[in-house]
Structures are given as C-alpha cells and as structure tokens.
Amino acid sequence: MTQEPIESLAQQAESLPREPGVYLFKDALGRVLYVGKARDLRARVRQYLGGHDERFMVRFLLQSAVRIDTTLVRSEKEALILENTLIKRHRPRYNAKLVDDSSFLHLRIDLEEEWPRFSLVREVAPDGSRIFGPYHSASQARATLAFLERRFPLRTCSDSELKSRDRPCLLHQMGRCLAPCVDLCTKEEYAAEVEQSMLFLSGRGRELLNRLQARMMEHAAAERFEQAARDRDLMKAVQASIERQGVADARQADRDVWGIHGEGEQGVVVLLPVRKGMVQEAIPMPFEDLETDQGVLLASLLNRWYQPGQTIPPELLLSTAPADVTVLAELLGERRGSAVRIQMPVQGEKRRLVELALRNARLAATREGKLSRGIRSLEDLQRVCQLDRLPRRIECFDNSNIEGQDAVAAMVVFIDGRPEPGEYRRYRVKTVEGADDYATMREILRRRFTRALETERSEDPRGWAEPGVDRKGWARPDLLVVDGGKGQVAAAKAVLADLGLHDQPLIGLSKPRTEHARGDREATDKIVLPGAKDPIRLDAHRPALTLLQAIRDESHKTAIGYHRETRRRRQLGSSLDDLPGVGATRRKALLTHFESIAAIKAASVEELAAVPGLGKKTAAAVYAALRGE
C-alpha cells in the first residue's frame, strides 16, 4: 500500500459532508471500485481509512482507489435506492455480488394489449404490466417460459408478425397457439387462457385445477374430446408441480423465507417461497466476496430482488437481520402498496421455516462445491498468482494446425474449478499465414476481448443491456491462461494493452522441456507471471498446479478435436470437387446419404442414382470417375 494515495483519500474524507448519501471509490482511470451508502458520509468513509472496517477486500480497495465521489440524498431510503441503481450501472469490482450478477429475469405480460403474450425482461418498467419472478437464473426463467408456451396456447409472435399473418402458423397446428392472428378464437377464449397461466405463475395451483376440471367436463359433455384431453394433460402437469410442494401454513399465508450460509468468501443465499401455505421450490443464489456483516449483503439482495411493479409478499422471514431493516421495510412497503413485515423469528413455526431455508442453503453450498475442494484450489491459485480476487472464471486458449493448414484455436472456460462446456468457443484462424503460434494467439485474443469490450459498452448509461446481448457468455475472465512461457505471455499482454485492458489478470503455463532435456524428470510445469524474472515452480500435487494442468489439457484436447474436424470436412469436400456433374448441392446430398467417402466409392450405380437429385446419367458418370474410368 502506497502512502500518497491514502493521504489523498484521507484529505478527501475530511471534506465530505455529514449528511446521508452514496459514496463511490474510484481508481486512477475513473472506474468505480465500490459503491456504498451512509447516514453520515464523512464518518462512514473515515471508517475505511482508519482501519475500523475489517472486511478482507478493504485493503485491496484502498490500494487501488484514488478518489471518492459522493451524491447527497434526503434520507436513508433514497440512499438505499440510489446505491442499488449505481451498483447495477457500474458493476463495481469490490461490491458483494452473486455469481450471476446481472439483473434478475422476470416474466412480463401486458394485459392492455389486444392479445397479450409473455416475454422475458430484466428491467421492470412501471407501465402497468403484470410481472412474475424474479428468477435466479436465465435457464430457470426460460424453462418456465417454455412450459407456459407448451401448456397455454398463447401467441409467441411479435406484434408486426401478428398483424401481417393471413394464415395460422405451425404452432396452431401443434395445438400450442389459438391463432388470434386469423380470428380462430374469441377474445373470451384467449382471456381465459391468459387468466389460467397467471394463476399458475401466482402459485394458485389448486384454484387452477378446479377450473380445469370444470372445463374438461364441459368439453367432454359436448364431445369436444381433443380439448378435454388437452385440459387433462395440463391438469397432470399442474398436479405434478403441486405435489413437489409441502404444506407449511394451515392459514394459507403468502411469505418469502430467506436463509444465508457462508464460509470464507463464498456462500449461498436461499429463497424459500411460500404461497397459499405451500412451500415451493427453493431458489439458491451463490455469491462471492462475502461481507463481514451478512446483513449488508442481504439488504442489497432484497432491494434488488423486490423491484417496483412485481408481486411482493406481505411478510419476509430472514435468518439474519438486514442492514437498515426499518428503512428497507418502508421501501418495500411503498413498492408493494401496503405494509411489508420483515422478521427474524427465534421460535415457533416461522423459525422452523427459516431453519428449513438454512438447511437448503447449506445443502446448495455443498452441492455446488462453493465450500469444497474446487474452491480450495482457486484459493491456492489466488495466493500463488498474487491475484486480488478469487479466479472464479478462468479461460485458457490453445491453437492447432499442421504446417499452417486448417489452423484453428479453442477457448475453454472453467467456472469455480470445473469445466463449463457451454461457455467454450472455437475459432477459425482468419489472418495468419503459415504456422505462426504467436500471430495466431494475437489474432484470437484480440477477437475474444474485442467482443468482450463491445458487450460491456452495449449497456446504456442507465445500466440496461441491449436486447439479445449475452453478457455472461462474453464476460471477462478473472484469470487468463496461455499455454506457453515468457514469449506467449508477453504477446498476450501486448494485445490486452492495445485494447486498454491493463488490469486483466494473465499467466502462462509452460512445460519443463528444458529441465527434462537436462535429465530432471521430476520437474513440473512452470507458472509464468507477467514482469516476473523467474517462473514459479510448485509441487506436483499442489491444488493450484493440478487445476491449471487440467485447464491446459482441456484446451489442448478441444483445439486438436476441432482441428481434426475441420481437416476431415475439408478432405471430404475436396475428394468430391472434381466429380462430373457434381456441384455443392449434389456433393452435400451425397455426403448426407452415404455419410463417408468410402461408402460413396463402394456404392453401385443404382445406389448412387437413389440419391435425391442425382439421376441415373450423373450416377453413372460419378461411378466411372470414382474408379478412374
């Protein structure tokens, strides 16, 4: 820690007002490192500088910060709202965050539309629409939307497509849309489906079952057996959802139960919704950078989870008291339109619900490996590589070619110490001629991190992402690993510097070829840090080294596999290029029909003629050409 920036921060702190507001720690480039709120700005900031805040991240924050900006507000409630807005906008490095730290997804339906439909949104606008959620993960939100689209035949098309259609689409033929675009249903029939879908999302499954039962009997009595069968199938799906729930409250109260479990710097928050007295599916939310006071994290999460315009239950049961609980309850009550009680029960049925949420949190923490061997490997890697934060997301690149031909590269991603194949990326090399590993790495890294910067810049000043932008898939890694020594690390560092990414953590992993050539068979792979004179050597069984080797081997396997696939496709295509009468369409038809060159060569004229679009005359010419005639 250098003395000059700290003195500068201390001078700034002394000039701060003793009023409520929000403070922002910024680095020399103006980037926001941390956002906090305070009843007394001067007193709160001085706690950081005086060593009275014992959170682990504070020392790293003070090493990087050179400036403190503030915004005054009229009350603690306004400070709470503004803090939430600024955290979402700036995504500060040192604020406690969930593993998926983007805005939560919601399901939205506008009942003022002529033919309402469901859509996924991240930001809740106060436009009178009905909002359901939020959902802790994108996959859960999309799975819920997919269930709605399968079971409730509402339109999924856009407004422009709805107006332009003159005949029903395939979804109508599959029984998944009432086709309001061509007036194949009445407004009453469509409204009934909308109401039933909202009953399901609201957790009112029993009421929905009663309605479906009555409608099914009406359809059966009128001999509309297809409609009756659809209602029967929907009843089974709803019943299965209800059976996964358990009775928690004979009074059928609505409440949300929150439990938080953490050790070290990781943990899990679990939400246990209770609707009409029924406990619903637990929602785990892993987090990192645990605050010393868990109440700070919980208050921030509740503020973000319960957005204006969505359903907020009248009672919240918490395992830990959130920071500023009175202000938070008042704020949530305003958003709900009536009082919201926040309680930390110590006995009785409510405490048993909180204990249930805590058991779910502990189970989720163990299951997801947040407190297990994977995290210990990451902690070891953090110490070895002198990283400011735990490397939750690690990316490693490797390339593959044969004398420069069919050159490709692959990026593999490990999250929390485990491979995440859905995040892998494969690249065809576009600009490099010949076998130049350095140039290939420069091209691929430039493409990857240029895309990351474009994604980050796609957010407007309010912090809203552009529609369709997948921020998670292109988030910058906590650690970038290149396969190689000082030369590869220097080349990667130069690319990052050209893009302005001077703070991107980077290391190299180099094989001990020189040591093995000298007879040292026990030498292990070397970790190369930018700017370090000597590489780091670790024991062969050190968790950090084992993890890095697994990542490097996975990248090597992925790159080679993609190279082989690319080479095979080229060879398959080139073998058929010179056949008479065979162009791109017929070449594709041949490969689709026979699946291999060997099968094509072994085929008779009659078998070749059976390929769609080939014909007997062309089949005979192909047969002869394949045999050199």
> pLDDT (tens digit, 9 = 90+) per residue, 111-161?
888 899 998 887 777 677 888 877 766 667 777 888 888 888 898 888 888
Residue 471 pLDDT: 39
pLDDT category of residue 315 using cuts at 50, 70 and 90: very high
SS (H, E, C) 217-244: HHHHHCCCHHHHHHHHHHHHHHHHHHHC
> pLDDT (tens digit, 9 = 90+) per residue, 156-193?
888 888 888 888 887 887 778 888 998 888 999 899 88
Residue % of the chain over a pLDDT of 70: 83
CA 48 to chain centre: 32
pLDDT category of residue 467 using cuts at 50, 70 and 90: very low
Residue 479 pLDDT: 92
Task: Give the C-alpha separation, 102 to 229, whole Å.
Answer: 41
Nearest to 277 by CA among 366, 221, 353, 224: 353
Handedness of CA 307, 311, 314, 316 (dihedral sign): negative
- Lookup result for tokens 């990026």: 411
The answer, yes or no, to whether residue 396 has pLDDT greater than 80, is: yes
Q: Hey, what domains does the chain have and what are their CATH numbers?
A: 3-95 (3.40.1440.10), 107-246 (no CATH), 255-371 (3.30.420), 376-460+472-563 (3.30.420.340), 576-626 (1.10.150.20)
Is residue 539 helix, strand or coil?
Answer: coil
Task: Select the more confidently predicted residue: 60 or 577.
Answer: 60
Query: Number of C-alpha atoms within 13 angstroms, CB side, residue 85?
Result: 13
Nearest to 428 by CA among 562, 305, 296, 311: 562
Task: Give the C-alpha separation, 437 to 488, whole Å.
Answer: 9
Strand-pair category, 266-275 with 255-263:
antiparallel
Nearest to 286 by CA among 270, 307, 306: 270
Handedness of CA 187, 192, 195, 196 (dihedral sign): negative
Is residue 527 helix, strand or coil?
Answer: strand
Q: Listing from the earlier edge strand, what are the strands of the sheet with 67-72? A: 32-38, 21-26, 67-72
CB atoms within 10 A of CB 611: 20
The mean pLDDT of the chain is 79
Task: Give the C-alpha separation, 265 to 248, whole Å.
Answer: 32
Residue 303 pLDDT: 87
Residue 462 pLDDT: 31
**How many separate helices (H) and strands (E) can be counted in the chain?**
22, 22
Task: Flag whether the pTM goes above 0.75.
Answer: no
